[in-house]
Amino acid sequence: MSAVAQENSQPLNFYRPDYFVKTPTMRSPEYVQLSTAAAITLGLVPGVMHRTSCTNCLNLLMTYPEGCRANCTYCGLARHREESRDYADRNFIRVDWPTVRVDEMLERIAKNSDKGQFQRMCISMITHPDSDHDTQVMLKRWMEVAPHIPASILSNPTTMDKQDLIDLKAMGADIFTVALDAVTPEIFERTRGKTVQSPHSWDKYWQTIEWAAEIYGPEKFGAHLICGMGETEQEILAVCQKMKDMGGHNHMFAFFPEKGSMMEDWDAVPQDHWRRVQLGRFLIDYAGGRYEDMEFDQYGRVLSFGYPQAELEDIIDSGKPFQTSGCPGKDDEEVSACNRPYGDSSPSDIRSFPFALNREDVEIVRRQMRLQDLRFPG
């Protein structure tokens, strides 16, 4: 039976992106999209992930036929794609996001279909008039079924006010995050501001981060930062320190040119740039490191982390700085439950490791970091 026939006769429980059929009408809060890794973990689609048993976080994405009304240049969900691809069929952070009926998803959670793998659930809002209200409906339903799995909110500051943050916490949200993404006002404006006919504002995003610090408190809020959109290592690590000083955490993403986005022809962030930023972020967030103690060259590249060498070597050897950063799970506060397998790179050139690194992985990372090369430029 076709997807259209199912839609007309009975509620559709699951839709996997398919460019050869008419996309059915699916709308939150009755429906929600989920990452491919989460769909595999829940048994909705077959598949395996390279060296990892999929994901420990159920990443959910609000969905509407009208799609996201923002136009961020690096995002596969951006408004400019509406002429070429229906919203539910668009790729996002390198993968397809299947759509599931919320009743079906919650039934599988209640039946432990994830076999206890999920340590966290995250609702990702989008820029849409109904997203604020429907996120609260989704959170309420989640807390009725799975209050034992903590919930995060990846917010849309553009449509929110302070009371929204208060209400979400009262309803059970454990952590509140803001996808700042761009780390300077100039980069923010050219990638997601009025310059590209997008509604987001640097000032409103930082205001929302300040609200989150006040309402959720230390260790319970964070910001997503994308490394490789034109900023220097010095600029992004300065933002990491600002977030840490406010009491928050930094969730780092390596820029990857998303197919179909306006930045699809950009280069991915260079390996050495990325590895140094990963290490600097970890030192600031978890190891008492300070941006002010770091040394940078004339191009804003890290020359020294200003950290005791023996301790620095131990931290590198642990591999933790190079794993995916995000909201924590129950096992280790320094390791993200939201491991987003291969969300910012392919398995052949791993940028954010979705698993613990072995000795060989660490040696590869050390070579990629190339600290010594910066001291003696050729």
pLDDT mean across residues, the chain: 92
pLDDT given for residue 374 in this prediction: 56
Assess whether pLDDT exceeds 80 at residue 377: no
pLDDT given for residue 375 in this prediction: 53
Look at 320 and 375; give whichever has higher pLDDT.
320
Chain position carrying tokens 């916490």: 169
Nearest to 72 by CA among 190, 206, 207, 205: 190
Distinct helix (H) and strand (E) counts, the chain: 12, 11
pLDDT given for residue 7 in this prediction: 45
Query: What average pLDDT does this structure show over 122-135?
Result: 97
Alpha-carbon separation of residue 141 from 32, 110, 138, 185 (angstroms): 12, 12, 5, 37
Query: What average pLDDT does this structure show over 344-370?
Result: 94
DSSP string computed for 123-170: EEP-SSTTHHHHHHHHHHHHHHH-TTS-EEEEE-GGG--HHHHHHHHH
Alpha-carbon separation of residue 215 from 157, 162, 247 (angstroms): 15, 9, 12
pLDDT digits (tens, 9 = 90+) for 341-353: 888 889 999 999 9
Query: What average pLDDT does this structure show over 258-272?
Result: 94
Does the predicted TM-score (pTM) go above 0.95? no
Q: What band does 87 get if pLDDT is binned at 50, 70 and 90?
A: confident
Look at 356 and 91; give whichever has higher pLDDT.
356
Which of 1-5, 9-13, 32-36 is most confident? Answer: 32-36
Residue 111, judged by CB atoms within 10 A of its CB (0-12, 13-18, 19+), counts as exposed
- Exposed e or buried b for every residue in 191-216, given b needs 16+ CB within 10 A? bbbeebebbbbbeebbbbbebbbebb
Query: Which stretches of the chain are assigned E, i.e. beta strand?
Result: 14-15, 31-34, 57-61, 99-101, 120-124, 151-155, 173-181, 221-227, 249-254, 295-296, 302-304
pLDDT digits (tens, 9 = 90+) for 321-341: 999 999 998 878 888 999 998
Strand 151-155 with 221-227, pairing: unpaired
Which neighbouring-strand residues pair with 100?
Answer: 14, 32
pLDDT digits (tens, 9 = 90+) for 136-192: 999 999 999 999 999 999 999 999 999 999 999 999 999 999 999 999 999 999 999
pLDDT given for residue 245 in this prediction: 98
Q: Could you give the CA distance from residue 254 to residue 262 in angstroms, rounded to a whole number?
A: 17
Nearest to 344 by CA among 225, 248, 215, 234: 225
Q: Could you give the CA distance from residue 276 to residue 370 in angstroms, rounded to a whole number?
A: 9
Query: What average pLDDT does this structure show over 52-59?
Result: 89
Assess whether pLDDT exceeds 90 at residue 118: yes
pLDDT digits (tens, 9 = 90+) for 195-244: 999 999 999 999 999 999 999 999 999 999 999 999 999 999 999 999 99
Look at 110 and 330; give whichever has higher pLDDT.
110
Q: What band does 373 get if pLDDT is binned at 50, 70 and 90?
A: low
Which neighbouring-strand residues pair with 152?
Answer: 122, 175
Assess whether pLDDT exceeds 70 at residue 1: no
pLDDT given for residue 357 in this prediction: 97
Domains defined for the chain, CATH in brackets? 29-267 (3.20.20.70)
Q: Could you give the CA distance from residue 358 to residue 346 in angstroms, rounded to a whole number?
A: 18
pLDDT given for residue 4 in this prediction: 44
pLDDT given for residue 9 in this prediction: 55
DSSP string computed for 280-294: HHHHHHHS---GGG-
Q: Could you give the CA distance from residue 141 to residue 29 in angstroms, rounded to a whole number?
A: 10
| Residues near 290 by beta carbon (within 8 Å), at least 6 away in sequence | 241, 284, 306
Query: What is the 8-class DSSP label of residue 114?
Result: T
Q: Could you give the CA distance from residue 97 to residue 267 in angstroms, rounded to a whole number?
A: 24
Q: Could you give the CA distance from residue 109 to residue 89 in angstroms, rounded to a whole number?
A: 24
Backbone angles phi, psi at 285, to 5 degrees: -75, -35
pLDDT given for residue 2 in this prediction: 42
pLDDT given for residue 68 in this prediction: 93
Q: 80 near 116, Cβ under 8 Å?
A: no
